[in-house]
Amino acid sequence: MTALLQVDGATLQYRTKENLVTASYRVSFSVHKSDRFVILGPSGCGKSTILKAVGGYVHPVEGTIKFNGAPISAPGPDRVFVFQEFDQLLPWKTVRQNIVFALTASGKLTKQEADTRAMHFIEKVRLTEFANNYPHTLSGGMKQRVAIARAMAMEPEILLMDEPFAALDAMTRAKMQEELLQLWDDAKFTLLFVTHSIPEALRVGSRILLLSAHPGQVKAEINSQGTDTARVEQLLFGEAGGGAHA
Amino acid sequence: MPDQRPEVFRTASATFPVVERPLGTWERLYGNGTARKAILLLVLAAAWEIFARWRNAPLLFPTLTETLAALQHSVAVGELTQAASYTITLLLKGYAAGLLFAAVLTALASATRVGADLLETLTAMFNPLPSIALLPLALIWFGLGNGSVIFVLIHAVLWTVALNTHAGFRAVSPTLRMVGQNYGLSRVGYITRILVPAAFPSILTGLKTGWAFAWRTLIAAELVFGASSGSGGLGMYISQKKNALQIPDVYAGLLTIIIFGLLVENLIFKTIESRTVRRWGMQV
């Protein structure tokens, strides 16, 4: 089976006002269809930058990132992002309009079809009674559910999630992880998920890429089945036990 | 070692002092912005009337009743309505032209870095320049007529609207920008469907300020040059009435400008606000 996403020796850099920062160094991995692929690493390992490169927002200075065999050049609706920030919904549109707009603006569906599909996914994330609410009237967890519904409604080839639950409280977070897995059971979509939480990686992921920090380099690529927190910590932080990076 | 304390269990009470009660008339009135403002206006009007009667100098400060009578008379003979409609037509033309130029300049600024530099430099140069100071020059360029007035109106509106819109665009969060790009929108679609609504609070501020600047500039231009150019607007009406020492009519002219200001602010801008930025939770 060929990979949907093939990252080969990708080095990613970004500029701040004073410095040129290497976020990740010669990272290689491949994501297959229906994978729940998690990129796990401490702050500063360039995991978000890798996700942005797959999204088409930044480009590798070395190596290649190929999607369906072709290099990624620009953002597009075949790779849909779910961000960590709550402000990713358009505040001037209701929950329903947010999803409809995503579908029509990307030219995927006509208005009528988009509306039907929007309601279907709003129901899936159990927000039917809030369909006509504006985002500012929703809680953080509800906003993230809308963002997930919006991304899933677009039926992208790969769903890119950048710590989507990081800003949520622990109880909501656990529930959202559960819901995401249920949605995956229904649709078996391909997921590329970034997190710095080891328990979250183990819960959400089927395969986990472990990165070191400053700059990010691949330490291991493991299956989450049969892996526990201790093994991940061991792989990430070596003999030291990992207290320093937690 | 903390004390070992027993665990506590309670059942929720079924009776409450107040769960929901309708507000009284006074509370409702106070909670209604329109009512509050109307009362405030009545108080100001009463203050005017009382002060003018106490001062008793009709040539300096006529009473509100005298002013209203003059206003009614001027409207009845059609003098004031004509002047006002002339001024408003000119104002709308100048405002619309100013907005058009501002849109072009801001689009340019959001498309290229040079465009942004150009906008910032031009704004820094011309925004502090009072429009009325350009009128003598405009009269040389465009002659005694509406052309020169529209030119100064464009100058009054353009910079503040462009500046606010540009600032609003730059304040759009990186997340929303990335979301917009993710949909694969065209350049124009990205500006009109993501940047403009996201920057709408700033744009609205620009529109309001631009409107106020346009009014001031136009009335000033009409006061100074209206008589000489032979065009009849509110400014000229005020100036002619002053020359004829019909002071209540001068006040009636000023009051007309004030009434238009109140109407535009409370009917047009407030409506736009409550239907957009307030509904979207971008402004409380």
Distance CA B15, CA B191 (A): 55
H or E element in which residue A7 lies: strand A5-15
pLDDT at A240 over 80: no
- Take residue A103 and report the two structure tokens written for it: 């579908």
Return the residue of A nearest to B193 by Cα. Answer: A105
Q: Is residue B61 part of a domain?
A: no
Residue A91, preceding bond cis, omega within 30 degrees?
no
Of A80, A134, A137, the CB nearest to B182: A80
H or E element in which residue A32 lies: none
Range of the domain at B147: 67-275
Contact in structure between A191 and A201 (CB atoms under 8 Å): no
pTM, two decimal places: 0.82
pLDDT at B92 over 60: yes
Q: Is residue B56 part of a domain?
A: no
Q: What is the pLDDT of residues A139-157, one digit of tens each?
A: 988 999 999 999 989 889 9
Type of residue at A103: L
- Check B281 against A88: CB less than 8 A apart: no
Contacts A–B by Cβ distance under 8 A: 64
- Check B198 against A91: CB less than 8 A apart: yes
pLDDT at B168: 94
pLDDT at A3: 85
Q: Is residue B32 part of a domain?
A: no
Q: Is residue B138 part of a domain?
A: yes
- Which of B179, B187, B195 would you mutate first to test chain A, the one with the most A CBs within 10 A? B179
On whether any CB of chain B is under 8 Å from the CB of A14, the answer is no
pLDDT at B226: 59
Of B175, B176, B183, the CB nearest to A105: B183
- Take residue A86 and report the two structure tokens written for it: 């709550």
Q: Which residues does chain A have within 8 Å of residue B178's beta carbon, measured at their own beta carbons?
A: 55, 57, 75, 81, 83
pLDDT at A241: 45
Q: How many domains does chain B have?
A: 1
Q: Is residue A139 part of a domain?
A: yes
Q: Is residue A230 part of a domain?
A: no
- Check A92 against B276: CB less than 8 A apart: yes
Q: Is residue B75 part of a domain?
A: yes
Q: What is the pLDDT of residues B23-32, one digit of tens each?
A: 888 888 887 8
Contact in structure between B173 and B119 (CB atoms under 8 Å): no
Query: Ranked by mean pLDDT, which of A170-174, B81-85, B94-98, B263-267 comes out on top?
Result: B94-98
Q: What is the pLDDT of residues B192-208, one digit of tens each?
A: 999 999 999 999 999 99
Q: Is residue A215 part of a domain?
A: no
Q: What is the pLDDT of residues A36-65, one digit of tens each?
A: 999 998 887 888 899 999 999 999 999 899
Decide which of B284 and B140 is more confident. B140
Q: What is the pLDDT of residues B35-88, one digit of tens each?
A: 888 899 999 999 999 999 998 888 889 999 999 999 999 999 988 998 999 899
On whether any CB of chain B is under 8 Å from the CB of A88, the answer is yes
Return the residue of A nearest to B197 by Cα. Answer: A92
pLDDT at B157: 95
Range of the domain at A103: 93-155
Using left for φ > 0, alpha for ψ between -120 and 50, and beta otherwise, residue A189 falls in: beta
Q: What is the pLDDT of residues B125-178, one digit of tens each?
A: 998 898 888 988 888 898 877 888 899 999 999 999 999 999 999 999 999 999
Decide which of B12 and B73 is more confident. B73
Confidence of residue B231 (pLDDT cuts 50, 70, 90): low
Distance CA A191, CA A194 (A): 10
Q: Is residue A245 part of a domain?
A: no
Confidence of residue B233 (pLDDT cuts 50, 70, 90): confident
Q: Is residue A42 part of a domain?
A: no
Q: How many domains does chain A have?
A: 1
Of B177, B160, B142, B255, the C-alpha closest to B211 is B160
Q: Is residue A72 part of a domain?
A: no
Confidence of residue A243 (pLDDT cuts 50, 70, 90): very low
Confidence of residue A244 (pLDDT cuts 50, 70, 90): very low
Q: Which residues does chain B have within 8 Å of residue A77's beta carbon, measured at their own beta carbons?
A: 182-184
**CATH of residue B212:** 1.10.3720.10
Q: Is residue A232 part of a domain?
A: no
Q: Is residue A102 part of a domain?
A: yes
Q: What is the pLDDT of residues A190-216, one digit of tens each?
A: 999 999 999 999 999 999 999 888 888
pLDDT at B230: 56
Average pLDDT of chain A to the nearest whole number: 87
Q: Is residue B16 part of a domain?
A: no
Residue at token pair 């350009």: B134
